[in-house]
Amino acid sequence: MPTAQKIEAVAELARLLNESRSAILLDYRGLDVAEISALRRELSAADIEFHVAKNTLLRIAADQAGIDVSPDLLTGPTAVAFGTADEVAPAKLLTAYVRRNREVAVKGGILGKQSLDVNQVERFAELPSREVLLAQFLGAAQSPMAQVLGVVQAQLREVAGLALALRNKLEAAEGTAA
pTM above 0.75, yes or no: no
Residue 177 pLDDT > 70 = no
* pLDDT computed for residue 1 by the predictor: 52
| pLDDT per position as a tens digit, 108-153 | 999 888 888 888 888 878 877 777 777 877 777 777 777 777 777 7
Q: CA neighbours within 13 Å on the CB side: how many for 157?
A: 6
* pLDDT computed for residue 60 by the predictor: 92
| pLDDT per position as a tens digit, 72-101 | 888 888 999 998 888 888 999 999 898 888
Are the beta carbons of 26 and 32 closer than 8 angstroms? no
For the domain made up of 4-127, the CATH class stated in words is: alpha beta
